Every structure is written in C-alpha cells, then in structure tokens.
Amino acid sequence: MENENQLLDINHLHTGFRIKDDFYDAVDDVSISLEKNEILAIVGESGCGKSTLATTIMGLHDPNKTKVAGEVIYQDLNLVDLNEELYNKIRGNDIGMIFQDPLSALNPLMRIQDQIAESLIFHTKLSKEKRYERVLELLEQVGIPNPPRVAKQYPHELSGGMRQRVMIAIALSCKPPIIIADEPTTALDVTIQAQILDLLKELQEENGTGIILITHDLGVVAEMADRVAVMYAGQVVEEAEVGELFNNPKHPYTRSLLNSIPQMDSENDELHVIDGVVPSLVKLPRKGCRFAARIPWIAAEEHEENPVMHEVAPNHFVRCTCYKNFHFEEGGE
C-alpha cells in the first residue's frame, strides 16, 4: 500500500442480499479506509447498511444468501476472496469485533474465562496456565473488579456494562490491530456508556489500534471519532474529519440529521423532521441521488445523474451535487 499507516482499505464494496431470485445491495459501492491509531465512525439511521458493512468486513455472511463484490484489503490480502479456513485465522486475531448486545453475543452456558480463552486457544499456543493469566490480565485491563471471581462467573451474573466489558476483553484477547465496534454502548446507561467509551479510547491510544465505530448517536461520534463517514441507503454520502463534519456539514442528509437532534441548549424549538422514510432495500432507487426523494423541494437539476463523491475541502468528500444549493424547506436552518 502506498500509505504504510493504512490498516484496512475498502474499495467499491458491494454486499447484496438475496430476496426471491434477485440480489439487492445493502452496501452499495462503499470505499473507505482505516488507518493505524484512528477511530473511524460510521453513522446513519437503521437500515442504512452500517452493520452489514461491519459483518461483511468480518466475513460473517452466508455465501448462499449474499453476494459480496469489491475489495477489502488487509495486509495485501483481499478478504472478500478468502476461504473460510483462512478467514478464521483473521477473525479475532487480526480483526476483533464488539457486538451491540452482549447478552446474545455471549454464550450463556460458558464461564467468562472460557469464552475469553476461546480465541486464545484458537490463535495462540499458550499453555493453560499462561492462558488463564492472560484472561485475568484482560479482565483487569477492561476495568473489571476482582477478575479471578468474575472469570468463573456466567454472563447472566454480570450487569450490562460488565458484559460489554467482557465483550471488549474478548475482542482484545489476541491484540488485533483492528477492532470493529458495532453500537457498543447503545444498550447502556449514559454513565456506563461514558466509562466504556473512555475505556475504548484508552485501549486504542495504548495499542495504536484502528477502530471502526458504528453508531447512530452523533454525540458519541463527536466525543470519540477522528474521522466520520455518514451512510445513507447503503452508500457513504459524506466523509470528513470529525471537526469539519460537525462545523461544516455539506450533504443535505448530514445537515438534516444534525438539525433533528434535541439540542441541550436550544429549547422549545420544533425539531427538524426529515420527510418520508429510509427506502426499503427492494424499493431503493438505484439511479440518481438516493436522498432526492426526501428533499422534494430541491429541483431535479441540482442532483447528479450518477452521484459521485466530490472533494469539497481537503479530506472532506460529499456525494452528489445537491449540497451546493441545498436549503431547508421553510426559511432555512
């Protein structure tokens, strides 16, 4: 790779799901890259393909029901073409994943220590004692009090925040250079969320890990991310450094989304509502700007026929030309 800091390079990735006899792309032509020591946030509403992107990178799709095309380059390997055996060597060892719901991601019948040790058994040749030491070390690292006791417990004995910490410990177990965190704090209380996010950030700074943080919470993005990609209907519509994105959002979708947050300091205002709904996979317009239907007051000429990413500022990319003359419906922002 031309850039030696680059960990993961995703080029023109498509993930299509089979519905009846056709494949419909839930992730449509996504190109992003992740660098060392970077938190890349992927934001969007439900159904925009952010989790599908994550599971595609991890290779978790059933090849009979999905069609994956494009490139996910990791250390000169295209993960898309990898067979299951090789992929298993990558999963956990090179890319760790933290799932949204730790209760369903953890095995209820296994002790915590065995669940963490699972990937150590698979990927390393540590002896049993060494492995146990490593498990305790990991539990310590993620801030669990009294690791030897927790190691012997089952998931149902722990609180939500503790379970999420265990998930993080599992993801960290083989010190992967890349971690994908899919809504890691959505199910948690704000105070616990703050703790978990701080923990992720600390671990990232310590180990130089690259993190792909998938979330729908723009507050979390503003606190955590270095770079942000906003997704809408399977496509990345805007990509920028975090400060640039929040101070100078360009794409109509990003601007609408930022406007619909109940702000802490603006009171009693009507919240901004985006017209219509996210189109379902089958009804997705495959041509033209996908956001056009939700901003009908913008003339059709403003949109591009085949929207591409434009670089509006250094490292700030926006899809389609409709951002240029975009205004909110009544009276602007």
Partner 1 sequence: MSFLEIEDLKVHYPIRGGFFNTVVDHVYALDGINMSIERGKTYGLVGESGSGKSTTGKAIMGLEKITDGRIIYEGKDVSKQIRGKNSTYNRDVQMIFQDATSSLNPKKRVRDIIAEPIRNFERLTEGEEKKRILELLDIVGMPEDAMYKYPHEFSGGQKQRLGVARAVACRPKLIVADEPVSALDLSVQAQVLNFMKDIQEEYGLSYLFISHDLGVVKHMCDHISIMYRGRLVESGTREDIYKDPQHIYTKRLIAAIPEIDTENREVHKANRRRVEEEYRQNEKQYYDENGKVYDLKSLTDTHKVALKNIEVGGN
Regarding 320 and contact with partner 1 (CB under 8 A), the answer is: no
Q: Which stretch binds partner 1 (CB under 8 A): 85-93, 149-157, 190-198, 314-322?
A: 190-198
Applying CB under 8 A, among 190, 206, 314, 333 the residue interacting with partner 1 is 190
By the 8 A CB rule, do 170 and 136 touch? no
CB of 239 to partner 1, least distance (A): 15
Helix (H, G, I), strand (E, B) or coil at 207: helix
Q: Which stretch binds partner 1 (CB under 8 A): 76-84, 110-118, 123-131, 216-224?
A: 216-224
By the 8 A CB rule, do 102 and 166 touch? yes
Residue listed under structure tokens 């700074």: 205
d(C-alpha 265, C-alpha 260), whole Å: 14
Amino acid type, 252: P
Q: Pick out residues in 19-78 that bind partner 1 (CB under 8 A).
A: 45-46
Size of the site for partner 1 (CB under 8 A): 38
Helix (H, G, I), strand (E, B) or coil at 50: helix
Regarding 300 and contact with partner 1 (CB under 8 A), the answer is: no
Closest CA to 8 of 70, 62, 65, 64: 70
Regarding 109 and contact with partner 1 (CB under 8 A), the answer is: no
Applying CB under 8 A, among 36, 61, 111, 272 the residue interacting with partner 1 is 272
Burial of 181 (0-12, 13-18, 19+ CB in 10 A): buried
Regarding 146 and contact with partner 1 (CB under 8 A), the answer is: no
Q: Pick out residues in 218-247 that bind partner 1 (CB under 8 A).
A: 218-220, 222-223, 242-243, 246-247
What is the Cα gyration radius of the chain?
21
Q: Which residues lie near partner 1 (CB under 8 A)?
A: 45-46, 160, 189-194, 197-198, 216-220, 222-223, 242-243, 246-247, 256-258, 260-264, 267-268, 270-274, 277
